[in-house]
């Protein structure tokens, strides 16, 4: 991965903080930055859902630093932001079902923790602060494709927490003049996404269950659609946003997706084909809090960030399935 360069600047004098860098998307951002000679890449993570195995390979790189700490502690956030130029804030508790089961936890980490990070970054004089929002913010808005300024009512505590991030980011931009950019991710998938646990995301879950010949559940009729987005596209967006110096781009949120949607049934059969499997799924009732259809208009990110997704669903899925096959083959 990361054969393409998404920046022109020399990164050797720049310092980066990736919060949640031991997680799926964060560890891929770290990989890109280190591969491209960044001066310093600090990961700030409490390992709640992240894994050291995602970042072990970077430990021998002198530019890499791991700082164990918790977003919910302002002091930890201050230490994490000290001496940093660019922040990519990925740390959060993901998953709609988790937020329905533990709304207080989602709020503490995703909202209070976010305000701690913004405050620490402001006081440390960080140049650009980029954060992960989510397509769940669109809630019950029916129109497709989703355009940034047309959102509905959120359908889960997770979606509310991400919308609260956007409101706080807007205020910190206006009141303190911070250069903040929000990325509304649409179903990101790829290498290093965790296939295990109660709250695993759909693609690694399907791949691992089919490979292990375990029961696979599809929620509802499987005709719900998603703009499935390969992780390298999300990394590209983070790199472009962190290094952005276009004043009009600050204080904004951007859809980060491919701009094509596929149903969960189509996803399932594509994975089946790649794994040469005939494993049959079990259908169960629709999940609470889920949106029915999702498809992004990505023209704003194209125009203001120069974002241009290089990986479509098919190409991304091939890389992802190969990754998990190799992982399981190596035990």
Could you give the residue numbers annotated as active site?
Answer: 158
Residues within the interface to ligand NAD (CB under 6 A): 20, 22-26, 45-50, 70-72, 90-94, 109, 113, 132, 134, 185, 187-188, 194, 201
Residues 6+ apart with CB under 8 A from 267: 202, 203, 206, 226, 228, 317
Phi, psi of 270 (to 5 degrees): -65, -40
Nearest CB to ligand NAD, comparing residues 120 and 132: 132
Q: Map residue 171 onto helix, strand or coil.
A: helix
Nearest CB to ligand NAD, comparing residues 186 and 268: 186
Neighbouring C-beta atoms of residue 70, cutoff 10 Å: 18
Q: In the bound complex, what is the minimum distance in angstroms from residue 280's beta carbon to ligand NAD?
A: 26
Nearest CB to ligand NAD, comparing residues 126 and 188: 188
Phi, psi of 134 (to 5 degrees): -150, 150
DSSP letter (8 states) at residue 146: B
Neighbouring C-beta atoms of residue 223, cutoff 10 Å: 12
Pair 249, 183: CB distance under 8 Å: no
Nearest CB to ligand NAD, comparing residues 40 and 162: 162
Q: In the bound complex, what is the minimum distance in angstroms from residue 193's beta carbon to ligand NAD?
A: 7
Q: In the bound complex, what is the minimum distance in angstroms from residue 148's beta carbon to ligand NAD?
A: 15
Nearest CB to ligand NAD, comparing residues 91 and 205: 91
CA distances from 184 to 43, 50, 122, 271 (A): 21, 20, 22, 25
Neighbouring C-beta atoms of residue 5, cutoff 10 Å: 11
Neighbouring C-beta atoms of residue 243, cutoff 10 Å: 20
């Amino acid at each position: 991965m990361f054969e393409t360069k998404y920046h022109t600047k020399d990164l050797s004098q720049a310092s980066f903080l990736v919060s949640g860098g031991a997680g799926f998307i964060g560890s891929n951002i770290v990989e890109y930055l280190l591969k491209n000679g960044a001066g310093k890449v600090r990961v700030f993570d409490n390992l709640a859902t992240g894994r050291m195995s995602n970042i072990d390979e970077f430990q021998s790189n002198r530019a890499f630093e791991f700082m164990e700490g918790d977003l919910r502690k302002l002091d930890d956030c201050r230490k994490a932001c000290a001496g940093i130029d660019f922040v990519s804030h990925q740390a959060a508790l993901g998953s709609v079902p988790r937020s329905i089961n533990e709304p207080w936890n989602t709020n503490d980490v995703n909202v209070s923790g976010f305000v701690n990070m913004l405050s620490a970054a402001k006081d440390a004089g960080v140049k650009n602060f980029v954060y992960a929002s989510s397509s769940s913010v669109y809630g019950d808005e029916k129109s497709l494709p989703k355009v940034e300024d047309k959102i509905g009512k959120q359908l889960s505590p997770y979606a509310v927490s991400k919308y609260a991030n956007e409101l706080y980011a807007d205020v910190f931009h206006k009141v303190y003049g911070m250069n903040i950019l929000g990325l509304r991710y649409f179903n990101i998938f790829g290498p290093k996404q965790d296939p295990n646990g109660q709250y695993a995301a759909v693609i690694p879950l399907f791949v691992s269950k089919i490979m292990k010949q375990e029961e696979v559940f599809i929620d509802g009729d499987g005709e719900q659609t998603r703009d499935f987005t390969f992780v390298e596209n999300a990394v590209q967006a983070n790199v472009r946003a962190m290094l952005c110096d276009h004043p009009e781009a600050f204080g904004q949120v951007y859809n980060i997706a491919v701009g094509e949607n596929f149903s969960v049934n189509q996803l399932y059969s594509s994975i089946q084909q790649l794994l040469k499997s005939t494993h049959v799924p079990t259908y169960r009732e629709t999940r609470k809090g889920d949106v029915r259809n999702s498809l992004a208009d990505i023209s704003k990110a194209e125009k203001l960030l120069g974002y241009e997704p290089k990986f479509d669903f098919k190409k991304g899925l091939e890389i992802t399935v190969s990754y998990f096959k190799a992982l399981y083959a190596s035990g």
